[in-house]
Chains A and B, each alone.
Chain A
Amino acid sequence: DTAVSQTPKYLVTQMGNDKSIKCEQNLGHDTMYWYKQDSKKFLKIMFSYNNKELIINETVPNRFSPKSPDKAHLNLHINSLELGDSAVYFCASSQGGGTQPQHFGDGTRLSIL
């Protein structure tokens, strides 16, 4: 029944490793997002896809690569992890634009050792 689900919930890994976070939404939405939330709760949009097409690509290191195999899935792959990548990553989805709210997953807490 979960609307936006992310896996894994926790990810602990070492610097230099490559990791992926998966996101799936069962709401039938056409747009999905990745956000990064730092320890001060500041939210930063990273990417957004609409019907599998990239529409928002903020200033993010190119070690981060999103992939949307279909409009219900948006995965995030991170290469060569760095200490500064430690954060909570949220996936979200929405239908259409304008006033439609975004629905968030519960987040993936990434800790780099």
Chain B
Amino acid sequence: GDSVTQMEGPVTLSEEAFLTINCTYTATGYPSLFWYVQYPGEGLQLLLKATKADDKGSNKGFEATYRKETTSFHLEKGSVQVSDSAVYFCALINAGNNRKLIWGLGTSLAVNP
């Protein structure tokens, strides 16, 4: 079945450092890919998405490109802030999955001033 694998955390960075959180997937067909973010004490919220190969999703300085050849959707940000400290989830949805999102395990990010 479909699956999502993302790098284990926690990831700890200093403010203004470059961030990469790796995400790879296994899926038949052409899934849509998502990054969600969960700030402490809150629910998840959509950060960005990409619906077809070579699409780049971007939001709040974060970017991820849908790479079908490497089945990857890595999240990047050029300069992180303390306020980016959160848990980041990679997910996919595939046609015929009854609208079921397949989730990665989440990667915790802590940014120190």
Give the docked Cα–Cα distance between A101 and B49 (Å). Answer: 8
- With A42-B105, A43-B106, A48-B98 as given contacts, are A98 and B32 in contact (CB-CB < 8 Å)? yes
- Which of B20-28, B37-45, B68-76, B77-85 is the contact stretch? B37-45
Residue in A97, A103, A105, A106 whose CB lies within 8 Å of B99: A97
Main secondary structure of the interface of A (DSSP, over half): strand
How does the 8 Å CB contact mask read for B85-113 relative to A, with 1 for contact and 0 for none?
A: 00101000101001111010110100000
Give the docked Cα–Cα distance between A4 and B45 (Å). Answer: 11
B5 touches A (CB below 8 Å): no
Q: Is the CB of B103 within 8 A of A43?
A: yes
Closest chain A residue, CB of each to CB of B48: A101
- Give the total number of A-B pairs whose CB atoms are below 8 A apart: 59
Residue in A41, A99, A105, A107 whose CB lies within 8 Å of B106: A41
Q: Is the CB of A104 within 8 A of B45?
A: yes
Give the docked Cα–Cα distance between A103 and B43 (Å). Answer: 9
Q: Is the CB of A48 within 8 A of B99?
A: yes
A-B contact pairs, 17 of them (CB 8 A): A31-B99, A41-B38, A41-B105, A41-B106, A43-B106, A56-B98, A56-B99, A92-B44, A94-B99, A97-B98, A98-B99, A99-B51, A99-B93, A102-B46, A103-B45, A106-B41, A106-B43
Q: Please give the residue numbers on chain B whose beta carbons come within 8 Å of chain A beta carbons, in ascending order.
A: 32, 34, 38, 41-46, 49, 51, 87, 89, 93, 95, 98-101, 103, 105-106, 108
